[in-house]
Amino acid sequence: MQPILEVKNITKKYGDFIAVDNINFSVADGGFFSILGGSGCGKTTLLRMIAGFEQQTSGEIIIRGQSMQGIPPERRPVNIVFQNLALFPMMNVEKNVGFGLQRQKLPKNEVKQRVASMLERVGLHGFNKKNVNDLSGGQRQRVAIARSLVLKPSILLLDEPLGALDRKLREHMKVELKLLQKEIGTTFIYITHDQSEALVMSDKVAVMNKGQFEQIDAPRKLYKTPKTSFVAGFVGESNEFDIESYLDNQITTQHGWKLSKPHLDFQPKKLFIRPEAFILNPRKALAPIERVEMRVKTILFDGSNTKISTVIKESEEEVLIALPQNAQFENLQEGDVIKVGIHPDDLKCYP
């Protein structure tokens, strides 16, 4: 099946500065594809090139098999939702959603029917006459999405649309957007600096750094098997260690922690371990578990996600460990010494 979007060797330069550097990817029809990266990595520039607001220096953008070279934004089969939503405050919900259809000079009955149908699909049935200023943040978000989707774009581009929402509403809208996209079936291309948004909602995630994609993968694979040290450090929470040496299948960190890691075919310089990878009080029968004693430095209680900051007894390395939800660890105190295990497969090493 031909992908709905193909981006081939796209580069964007501003003078000597390369904002987007020879990127290639494709998106399946009906998919939810996220571009995840920090500020200044080039993700908004890439989105604007797909939309036609920026022209690439080189490369090609193809939508539904047609090159977009020379095609202006208003003629591309895409629509975009910005962080500020850009709703018209003087118009009610119905007029906001129908604005684009009216500009296409469609018959009034068709506009009214398509707007009513789209409001139903985004969960805003009966909101037609409400003023957008009287809506909640989540409801305004859905109006902005409905206004874009009613034009039947092949692709909906979303430029950090949840960035202005408070944390609780953002968590709610992540689920809403995922369900909405599955129900409607329109291809979503979503850019964000928030890894939680990307991991929760997407079928595929591209991690962007300095104008390039470091890895494109399903969220679970991205988290479990990061291919570069940047992805390992950027996606999810990790303990990061500098490696002093690797001899005879043994890693020695900068502060002297020694760990077995067999069969590396390169000289590692960085080590990453997820906080949840540590096994507390491992049974002796578990093999090939590496065992070490750690002293509890600080307890970081956060409801269901309690962690402890520890120091390894035989070195100065500080390690963050996720506590299992187990009554056995409820009475843990600062200064306690605990036995911890780690499996070699959970040591992620990079050159």
Distance CA 208, CA 35 (A): 7
Tens of pLDDT, residue by residue over 94-133, are 999 999 888 888 888 998 999 998 888 888 888 989 998 8
Pairing outcome for strands 239-247 and 187-192? unpaired
Contacts of residue 218, Cβ cutoff 8 Å, sequence gap at least 6: 203, 204, 205
Q: How confident is the model at residue 163 (pLDDT cuts 50, 70, 90)?
A: confident
Q: What pLDDT does 1 receive?
A: 73
Q: What pLDDT does 169 receive?
A: 78
Q: What pLDDT does 175 receive?
A: 86
Q: How confident is the model at residue 44 (pLDDT cuts 50, 70, 90)?
A: very high
**Mean pLDDT along residues 58-62:** 97
Contacts of residue 82, Cβ cutoff 8 Å, sequence gap at least 6: 159, 161
- Mean pLDDT score of the chain, rounded to an integer? 90
pLDDT at 314 over 80: no
Instruction: Report the alpha-carbon angle 134-172-276, nearest 5.
Output: 155
Q: How confident is the model at residue 285 (pLDDT cuts 50, 70, 90)?
A: low
pLDDT at 55 over 70: yes
Tens of pLDDT, residue by residue over 225-264, are 999 999 999 999 999 999 999 999 999 999 989 999 988 9
Q: How many CA atoms lie within 13 A of 166 on its CB side?
A: 4
Q: What pLDDT does 168 receive?
A: 83
**Mean pLDDT along residues 57-85:** 92
Q: How many CA atoms lie within 13 A of 130 on its CB side?
A: 13
Q: Domains in the chain, ordered, with CATH?
A: 5-233 (3.40.50.300), 240-350 (2.40.50.140)
Distance CA 100, CA 83 (A): 19
Amino acid at 238: S
Distance CA 273, CA 256 (A): 16
Q: Evaluate if pTM is beyond 0.85.
A: yes
Tens of pLDDT, residue by residue over 174-229, are 888 888 888 888 999 999 999 999 999 999 999 999 999 999 999 999 999 999 99
pLDDT at 287 over 90: no
pLDDT at 283 over 80: no
Is residue 76 within 8 Å of 26, Cβ to Cβ? no
